[in-house]
Amino acid sequence: MLKRLLLLRGTEIIVLALLASIPLFISNSYALGLLTLLAIYGILLIGLDVTVGYLGQVNLAQAAFLGLGAYAAGISVTLLGFGIFESLAISMLVGLVLGGLLAFPALRLEGPQFALATLSFSALCTTVLNEWEGLTGGAQGLSLTRPGLFGYAFNAQGFYWLCLILFALVWMALRNLLSSQWGRAFEALRDSPIATDAMGVGTYRHKVAGFALGSALGGLAGGLYALNFQYLQPQGFTYDLMVILLLGVVLGGRKSLWGAFFGASLIVLLPNLLSNRLLFEIISALGLLLAVIAGIRGRLRKTTQTFQALAPVVAMSLLVVGGFLVENTENWRKAIFALMLFSVVVGLPDGIMGFAARYLTRLFHLEPPSLPPASALGDVLPKKPVNNSVLLELKELKRYFGGVKAVDGISMTVRTGHVHGLIGPNGSGKSTAVNVISGLYAPTSGEILLQGKALPKGSLFKVARAGVSRTFQNLQLFGELSALDNVMLAIKGAYRIPLPLVLLGLAKAEEKRAQADALALLELVRLKQHARTRAKDLTYGSQRFLEIARALARKPELLILDEPAAGLAHPDVNELVDIIKAIKQYGIAIILIEHHMHVVSELCDVVTVIDGGKVIAEGSPAEVKRDPKVIKAYLGVATEPDGPDTHPLPV
């Protein structure tokens, strides 16, 4: 624990101290300019990494936000006469507001459409900066003089330190944010947006907030950029720069602050690298060597495909050979970037940092921080009163898909503390019914009442907030997150602390409490020893159980389990029955969709049978099993005596 802290924080402090002390030894103004740019691009890339890395959206607007921030600062200084911090605040605000405004409509789109929306935004920004001559000076450019602070005029050195301090602050704030519930939400919504909504964590609002944050950092970087160069031109913020920024993030390593730092160093050094032929040859030869070694190693260990091993070697060879052939490497800038980007995307998909992190954790035997002891389960799931009152009421619920009447007038009542079975043939409308209840689909008509109040319609997120939690027939876990994080994300009311305090790193106590609560729930489903295992590495049975623990973390009034035993082997089915019995002890009502009749008989207080979107029978398990309609539509020949559920015949 201490070792981890020392290594991680120690490296940060040492690197920062080194960066800060360089101007004391070197009085080369050119080198100082590069260092200033490094800090500025560092902030810019951390912002870009939030959208590209954490949200997983291809964002082509970061260069435009740099430009907007730069002009915002420039105009604040020249026209309004603002000081240094006011101008920077304005830059950031412009990024935040415009980022939010762009994100609202654009993030309703997915993948390529979102990329195109950001691309058009960039084009729009460049045009406006170019044409609004009264404000921006147009193609002539905008000159400004860097304002001082309290009568102290910043020289180049002082300004570098200011940039470095801001970079360090951004670094710390983002580290705190990303290791909090926010970071988990960003990871989760990339894996499964549906489950993120169903756990009461709004996918859309987190996406918009994340994008606005990234844009705000872009704006801040822009403000610093303006104050650094003291001269602005719209051509500085076009598509070319965007490609280089993406190269920086991908090469440095996505989803990593250090990755953004490496990416920024690369961007700053690239022009120099290109102007010095010897340096260029050395670097590309090193790249080639690295590609060859990594390729051979990967092939020997059979961890990489032939193409993946060969393509970077070919691309880097082209760089080396091309370096001798062409006269002026700077003219070939774009081709060189393209080749580098190609090799990295193919050969090092996780970037330098992703590659290095794997080896460093192994080298230093870094262990994840220890976990707090689990809370008492009774505190996590306070016992609800069970008084046989009506909890959920469906009135003539209908859902049609085109001409298909998937749910065709279901009325049903679920009482507090009951396990309410929902059975029926495949395609009878069970899953559609619970999808309507949980808000995945809006009903065509009909009413859903929870504790007498109408349940929100057609929004997973709002229904989850109202106290209904669910699992999914086709697992919807957050595969990249650990079992513990999967549960922590869903914990209701884990974070009441406002965002600014999270940024300052004051959410640690809440984090610990959420961990303890999540561990208690993992213990309930017998997964406590796998708390740190990535969800996608768990066995199929454990994944099913993890979904139950995650749904419970919402502390729901009503829990919907959609075929929890599907695909489970005999011993796991027995364990599942025990877990559901334990949950029932806490007074949580359950709707159980299941085909294993043995499970249904053992657990359910009431069973509703659905066929063709309509209720065909309701009653105790025993009553329902004797019903001739149910036997005909669902059970088939009912001849087997009661017995364990290793047999498809009804028991």
Least distance to other proteins, CB of residue 153, Å: 57
- Nearer residue to other proteins within complex by CB, 100 or 541: 541
CA angle 263-265-270, nearest 5°?
Answer: 95
3-state secondary structure 573-635: HHHHHHHHHHHHHCCCEEEEECCCHHHHHHHCCEEEEEECCEEEEEECHHHHHHCHHHHHHHH
Amino acid making up residue 23: P
- Nearer residue to other proteins within complex by CB, 245 or 610: 610
- Nearer residue to other proteins within complex by CB, 93 or 566: 566
- Nearer residue to other proteins within complex by CB, 335 or 566: 566
Question: Among 584, 586, 572, 581, which residue's Cα sits nearest to residue 544?
Answer: 572
- Nearer residue to other proteins within complex by CB, 193 or 425: 425
Q: How many CB atoms lie within 10 A of CB 130?
A: 15
Q: How many CB atoms lie within 10 A of CB 534?
A: 16
Q: Which residues here bind other proteins, judged by CB under 8 A?
A: 302, 404, 423-427, 473-474, 537, 539-542, 563, 566-572, 595, 597, 633-637, 643-650
- Nearer residue to other proteins within complex by CB, 140 or 474: 474
Name residues whose C-beta falls within 8 Å of residue 403's C-beta, 6 or more positions apart in sequence: none
Least distance to other proteins, CB of residue 215, Å: 36
- Nearer residue to other proteins within complex by CB, 407 or 448: 407
Least distance to other proteins, CB of residue 632, Å: 8
- Nearer residue to other proteins within complex by CB, 526 or 595: 595
CA angle 192-193-194, nearest 5°?
Answer: 90
Name residues whose C-beta falls within 8 Å of residue 642's C-beta, 6 or more positions apart in sequence: 601, 651
- Nearer residue to other proteins within complex by CB, 189 or 565: 565
Radius of gyration of the chain (CA): 29
CA–CA separation, 400 vs 410, rounded Å?
12
Query: Are 214 and 48 in contact, with CB atoms under 8 Å apart?
Result: yes
CA dihedral of 438, 612, 630, 592, whole degrees rounded to 10: -10
Least distance to other proteins, CB of residue 566, Å: 4
Joined together, the tokens standing for residue 598 give 């043995």
CA–CA separation, 123 vs 469, rounded Å?
44
Coil vs helix vs strand at 109: coil
CA dihedral of 147, 153, 156, 157, whole degrees rounded to 10: -130
CA–CA separation, 421 vs 601, rounded Å?
9
Coil vs helix vs strand at 138: helix
Query: Are 20 and 35 in contact, with CB atoms under 8 Å apart?
Result: no
Amino acid making up residue 555: K
Query: Are 561 and 422 in contact, with CB atoms under 8 Å apart?
Result: no
- Nearer residue to other proteins within complex by CB, 210 or 650: 650
Joined together, the tokens standing for residue 160 give 């570098």
CA–CA separation, 183 vs 469, rounded Å?
22
CA–CA separation, 225 vs 39, rounded Å?
10
- Nearer residue to other proteins within complex by CB, 302 or 453: 302
CA–CA separation, 624 vs 61, rounded Å?
60
- Nearer residue to other proteins within complex by CB, 64 or 597: 597
- Nearer residue to other proteins within complex by CB, 25 or 307: 307
Q: What is the DSSP letter of 525?
A: T
Q: How many CB atoms lie within 10 A of CB 502?
A: 22
Least distance to other proteins, CB of residue 194, Å: 17
Least distance to other proteins, CB of residue 649, Å: 7
Q: Which residue has the tokens 């050094």?
A: 269
Least distance to other proteins, CB of residue 354, Å: 15
Least distance to other proteins, CB of residue 289, Å: 26
